[in-house]
Structure 1
Amino acid sequence: TWYYAGPVMLTLVGEHFLLRYPPSLAPLARELLAQLEQRVQEGIGDASRTSGAFLGLLLPPGKKLTVWLYDDPATFRLTTAPTLPAWAKTWVGFPAKYLVKEGGKADPAEEAPFVLGAAINQSLLTTGIETPWLRYGLAAYSADLLFPDHARRYALRRFDELLKAARYKQIPSLSDLDFHPADRKAAFRARSFAWDAVHYLIESFGWDRLTFFLERFTQGDGEEAFHRAFGLTQQEFDAQWRASLAYAHIPPEFTRIARSFDTSRTMEHIRTLASPEFAGREAGTEGGRKAAAYIAELLTRYHLEPAGDDGSYFQEFPISCTHLLTTPQFIVAGVPYTYGVDFRELSAPVGDAGVAEGQLVWVRDGSFSDMDLTGKIAVRFSRGEPEDEIRKAAEHKAIGLILIRDASREKFRTRHPLVAQDSAIPTVQITSKAFERMITPVGYTLAELNNSPPALPLELYGRIVVSTAPWGACTAHNILALLPGSDPTLADQILILSAHYDHVGTAPDGVLFPGANDDASGVATLLEIARLWSEGNFHPRRSVLFAFWDAEERGSEGSGYFTANPTVPITDVVGVLHLDNVAQGGGYYLIAEGERAVEGNLMAWLKAAAQEISGRLDIAQPEQAGDHTLFRGKGIPATLVHWEDSDDDANTPADTPDSLDERKLRTSGQIIALAAMMLSWR
């Protein structure tokens, strides 16, 4: 007979786990058990994963891992060791105990990996594996295997600790790690080292050796089993691991290849793509097709496999296209304004001459409520997306639209492709200075207009001419090339390296928009990486898809078409590094945009590569939309890499090869090449 003194505890029993919990945690416990059993079953049952046998040893049939759950900190601490730090949520005794956060209001998906880690840690301890770093490392690594979202969430935090230790040469011995210090941050640091050591152990010796070690391990002969499995003592492994971590586990040969990034060769690609021969590389044009052929010819030279349609490098997709027949005109009160200086075109109607002529009406109310603008040209400050402004004006029967933008003349000469829009009307965007010149002769001021009624007819008449060829169907081309993975267990996983090769073409007055930084720089960087890998005989373990998107300037149509019609299994894509504007920027840092909880692993290796290269890289929250956004929308980690403040000359004639900074291009190329090698390898 035995007696239990303590809170009332209920029991849930599954195939691999037994959970005990107070009644207040009943809903959480049921969801936790369901998630744990499902993930374990998937992990053990997936024959394609060499980790399956390893997980099977940790979670054998018939053995139930027991965890007691608590939602009251006081009760949890009364049932654990008095020396347990105040921050601790886990007790690895018998049984394992875990304190859920927020009084039982926790998210089961967030708690499940920690519960699993506690259970495995305790199971290893009862098996006789007393070495702390090995237990904590195996437990954390197992949680990462079964909960990839959890792994991504903590990847960057772990790497920050590891890289800091490497940078300041403060890598501890594994035997000195303290997993229950008074400081929570110190505990996370210790567990990061343990996780990394197990990761390095598996990378160096393979799953088979680890499985052999666990199979041979018996009480009291752990050191002998370790030596038999891995061919060295734990002390020797410790020294080997610390020496590798000092270089962020990046093989010296990888660093040598990355440092061989040839900036001069890359600049030649940029000069070619930005030259008048390619006429601004607008999607669906002869210049765009020439650029595609140039890229494909180089991919052939670098021995990458075609991954497009019908055994080619090209994935064709339709786009609607047109072009300006003449230079747009904008005239008010008989005064012509200068194209590219005072105004630019934004849209043209389908199947129409593209002429709007009539009285101007100032529209202060952006909702256009109760307005009938029949036969009028609406004028207003551009507050939202131009497409929305055009649609609203057209719905209220305006025949034309003038949008005012407060921008300098230098930044105003930006260009965007005309995109078909059912509600399009002749629309121009003008500078605020041009608007002031327009209204001053007839006695209006900006202050008066800003305090006017929602709509105010002006004593001004204007004419807008945006004459285009009839809308038609054109063909655009994504360019896709595959470097197959060399590891049978990882080759099905695909890392995408991408950039967009299209730009905005040539203006009707003959001005070329070269697009050197945006995004010939990204394209040229990928081409140089492909050459480096080919000539350096680098064979990634994971497959790498080099993707050059078309029609990005039209709203990421190329990457959108690929994600809807992938030429490789989209579910096999494990990450995307998208390069845009990587050769110039007003800031001092190369920027990697992403969510730490989603793109953590991608950004971690970019940081590690930057530290190894001695380059500057900063992590930022996602701000800019682009080709990478389509992948993030499908739950695929995707990071945008660009230079800080790199959009000053975007889509302007000033974006020339001469405006680029070769030092920044070299830094970008070396960091991205090295990070991509590690992401495709480790």
Structure 2
Amino acid sequence: MALLLSLNGRAQSTQPTSQTLAEFAAERTEYASRAEATVAVLASDSLAGRGYGPADGARRAARYVAGRFRELGLEPLGDSAGHSYYQHFPLPINTFPGPLTLALDGRTLRPGFDFIAAPDCPSARVRGRVVVLDTSWLSLDSVTLTARLRPRSLHGQVLVLRASDTKRLPQLSAPLRRWVESADAVLVREPKKLTASLARTQGRQPWLRVLDSAWTRGLVPRRATLAIGARFEPAYPAMNVIGRLRGNGTSDSVLIVTAHYDHLGQQGPAITFYGANDNASGTAMLLALAASSIQARGLQQHDLLFIAFGAEEAGLVGSEWCATHPPVPLPSIGFLLNLDLEGFGDGATVVNATLHPREFALLDSLSRIRATKDGKAYLTLKQRGRAANSDHYPFSERGVPAFFVYSLGGPGYYHDVRDRPKTLDLRRTNKLFMLLLQFLSALDAAP
């Protein structure tokens, strides 16, 4: 007999004839080795950072996930329910299939480590003198500023800004804004870290973000030479991947597990953002939960949906599309569990915990029960409120009860070229996997 907690906090026992999902997973599951194998594929050179454009990494990653769904025996629930796992949607996206180079006074910098392109950067080839923005100008009135601006135009020159000053650009006076926009290119000095992102538009002025440590002895160079090969895709054929495990028909509601499979792709052929933690790790956990759930096929009360979203990194585009075109009616969703950043084992944070205190109490209680059972310290769970930081958000904003659970720990490699499989600690994520499997089991067993 399995001891579970219902959503009202009371203990309930289930007979062997009503076995739960968790009972079908071995207590000493080889989750880590399975997760490592999945992450090795998703964060490999062949998938090119699971991004967009000519490398087509995102689409190849989607095909990989669909293949895994097919191997597991999940029912396709995409655009052609019963025939395809894919839910297609158009994605406007700026890509970087061409070169990305930067030299300061003839010294070549390393793309990805010393500098990156801003996400909306256009193609450009620039060679020019470097001009530094005098930050005292940011507080001058228009008349005084106009008198001081020398040269009047930055055509043929490269402007240098501090990262802190870029936040003030929207409030610039018209003369100073025109002066900044007249530069052939802009270099932004980043004091600590290069954090890449994606853009669904392409700008008119090339911007590069350069680490302070890349400037020789902290000195401003006299000349800069740069090349950027960008291409805007107005409607990249993106897709979500959706599979269903049918329940035994005793419940009309649906439980959903989600994770995004995409990442940032490449900036030129020399820079790949592998996205091992973000979110090959979450996709690996989703596939492992699906594999464990398959062992209880037909015995669970609820239908289980497993959804791998595309275009999360472009602004939750895939999940927004899915929430707008849901594969099942939104009111039928009993709970949604979103997995993102699952590569470490120092506990976990639960987004929306304060919005759903009963479900968080259930999750926390299951963690403590496991601690008592195996004699080890229970997994530390931190509560967080509402946040628009992953794919749960489009659903929770439409009234679907949802958690976004992310693991804690690690070196902090986020949206950069260092987020690679070797930096993860998947051997310590087994406890989180087992806890979430039991959480799904308890949700399924609850009346």
TM range (shorter): 0.7 to 0.9
Aligned-partner Cα distance in 1 for 2:118–2:280 = 24
**Residue 362 (structure 1) aligns with:** 133
Give the structure-2-normalised TM-score.
Answer: 0.80
Q: Does 1:540 align with 2:306?
A: no
- Equivalence map 1:92-171=2 (5 Å): none
The equivalent residue for 1:298 is: 68
Deviation at 1:640, TM superposition (A): 1.6
- C-alpha distance in 2, partners of 1:634/1:369? 46
What's 1:123 paired with?
none
Q: Which amino acid aligns with 2:382?
A: I
Distance 2:85 2:104 in 1: 50
Is 1:338 matched up with 2:106?
A: no
Give the whole-Å Cα distance in 2 for the aligned partners of 1:335 and 1:503: 30
Give percent identity, aligned residues only.
24
Paired residue for 1:562, among 306, 314, 322? 322
Q: Deviations over 1:23-73 (max 9, x none)?
A: xxxxxxxxxxxxxxxxxxxxxxxxxxxxxxxxxxxxxxxxxxxxxxxxxxx
Relative contact order, CA 8 A, sep 6+: which one is greater?
2
Aligned equivalents of 1:390, 1:425: Cα separation in 2 = 15
Aligned residues of 1:500 and 1:523 also touching (Cα < 8 A)? yes
Q: Does 1:601 align with 2:358?
A: yes
**Alignment pair present for 1:473 and 2:225:** no
| Contact 2:21-2:440 at 8 Å conserved across structures | no
The change in CA–CA distance for 1:636 and 1:282 in structure 2 (over 3 A counts) is same
1:621 aligns with 2:384: yes
Amino acid of the residue matched to residue 480 of structure 1? I
Cα distance change on mapping 1:431 and 1:559 into 2, 3 Å = same
Q: Name the residue aligned to 2:101.
A: 329
Give 1:634 shift.
2.4
- Residue 313 (structure 1) aligned with residue 85 (structure 2): yes
Q: Say yes or no: does 1:439 pair with 2:219.
A: yes
For residues 428-467 of structure 1, the aligned pairs below 5 Å read 428-435=208-215, 437=217, 439=219, 460-467=222-229
CA positional deviation for 1:313: 0.8
Q: 1:663 aligns to what?
A: 427
Mapping for residues 269-284 of structure 1, pairs under 5 Å: 269-283=38-52
| Conserved 8 A contact 1:632-1:638 | yes
Q: Distance in 1 between matches of 2:139 and 2:410?
A: 34
**Cα displacement string for residues 356-399 of structure 1 (whole angstroms, at most 9, x for unaligned residues):** 7455241537799747865364432224888x959979766343
- Structure 2 residue matching 1:654: 3-state secondary structure: coil
**Displacement after TM superposition at 1:253 (Å):** 7.0
Secondary structure of residue in 2 paired with 1:627: coil
Determine the C-alpha separation between the residues in 2 that align with 1:648 and 1:669.
Answer: 21
Task: Classify the secondary structure of the residue corresponding to 2:63.
Answer: helix
Aligned to 1:589: 347
Counterpart CA distance in 2 for 1:484 and 1:416 is: 37
Give the equivalent residue in structure 1 for 2:22. 254
Report the AA paired with residue 631 of structure 1: F
Q: Read off the aligned partner of 1:602 and give its amino acid letter.
A: E
CA distance in 2, matches of 1:368, 1:497: 53
Q: Which AA in structure 2 matches 1:275?
A: S
Letter in 2 for 1:601: R
Whichever residue aligns with residue 362 of structure 1, its letter is: L
Secondary structure (helix, strand or coil) at the match of 1:680 reads helix
Would you tell me which structure has more helix in proportion to its own residues?
A: 1
Tell whether the 8 Å contact from 1:281 to 1:501 is kept in structure 2 after alignment: yes
Amino acid at match of 1:478: N
Counterpart residue identity of residue 382, structure 1: A
Residue in 2 aligned with 1:404?
A: 189
Unaligned runs of 5+ in 1: 1-162, 167-191, 201-240, 442-459
Distance 2:292 2:114 in 1: 46
With 270-279 and 390-399 compared, the bigger mean Cα shift is at: 390-399
Structure 1 CA distance, aligned partners of 2:255 and 2:141? 49
Is 1:650 aligned with 2:414?
yes
1:612 and 2:381 are equivalent in the alignment = no
8 Å contact kept, 2:273–2:417: yes
1:286 and 2:51 aligned: no
Taking structure 1 as reference, are residues 301 and 637 closer, same or farther at Cα in structure 2, changes over 3 Å only? same
| Distance change >3 Å, CA 515–CA 196, structure 1 → 2 | closer
Cα distance, 1:552–1:355 mapped onto 2, change above 3 Å:
farther
Q: Would you say the 8 A contact 1:577–1:641 is kept in 2?
A: yes
Decide which of 307, 311, 335 is 1:575's aligned counterpart: 335
Give 1:675's aligned amino acid: F
What is the identity, as a one-letter code, of the residue corresponding to 2:259?
Answer: A
1:315 aligned counterpart, secondary structure = strand
Q: Give the corresponding residue for 2:206.
A: 426
Q: In the TM superposition, what whole-angstrom CA distance separates every residue of 1:151-188 from its partner, at most 9, and x where no partner exists?
A: xxxxxxxxxxxx9xx9xxxxxxxxxxxxxxxxxxxxxx
In the aligned structure 1, how far is the partner of 2:158 from the partner of 2:116?
16
* Other structure's SS at 2:413 match: coil
Distance between the aligned counterparts of 2:283 and 2:67, measured in 1?
A: 14
CA shift, 1:427, in A, is 0.5
For residue 502 of structure 1, the aligned residue among 262, 274, 299 is 262
Contact conserved, 2:281 with 2:343, CA < 8 A, in 1?
yes
Report the alpha carbon displacement of residue 271 of structure 1 after superposing the two structures with TM.
Answer: 1.6
What is the TM-score with the length of structure 1 in the denominator? Answer: 0.54
Cα displacement (A) at 1:627: 1.4
Contact 1:593 1:641 in 2 (8 A): yes
Structure of higher CA gyration radius: 1
Match of 2:374 in 1: none
Task: Give the letter aligned to residue 333 of structure 2.
Answer: V
The offset of 1:355, in angstroms, is 4.0
Instruction: Compute the displacement of 1:348 (Å).
Output: 4.8
User: How many corresponding residue pairs?
Assistant: 415
**Contact 2:21 2:437 (C-alpha < 8 Å) held by counterparts:** no
Contact (CA 8 Å) 1:390, 1:424: kept in 2 or not? no
Is the Cα contact below 8 Å between 1:363 and 1:379 reproduced in 2?
no
- Mapped to 2, the partners of 1:368 and 1:422 lie a distance apart of 31
Per-residue deviation, 1:320: 2.3
Distance 2:166 2:388 in 1: 15
SS at match of 2:338: strand
Q: How does 1:207-218 map to 2 (within 5 A)?
A: none
What letter matches 1:612 in structure 2?
Answer: I
Q: CA deviation at 1:290?
A: 2.0
| Secondary structure at 1:529 match in 2 | helix
Q: In 2 relative to 1, CA 306–435 (structure 1 residues): closer, same or farther, beyond 3 Å?
A: same
Q: Answer yes or no: is 1:268 the counterpart of 2:37.
A: yes
Query: What's the RMSD between the two structures over aligned residues?
Result: 3.6
| Match runs of 1:16-165 below 5 Å | none
Measured against aligned partners, the alpha-carbon deviations of 1:225-270 in whole angstroms (never above 9, x if no partner) come to: xxxxxxxxxxxxxxxx6xx59xxxx978734526364322232222
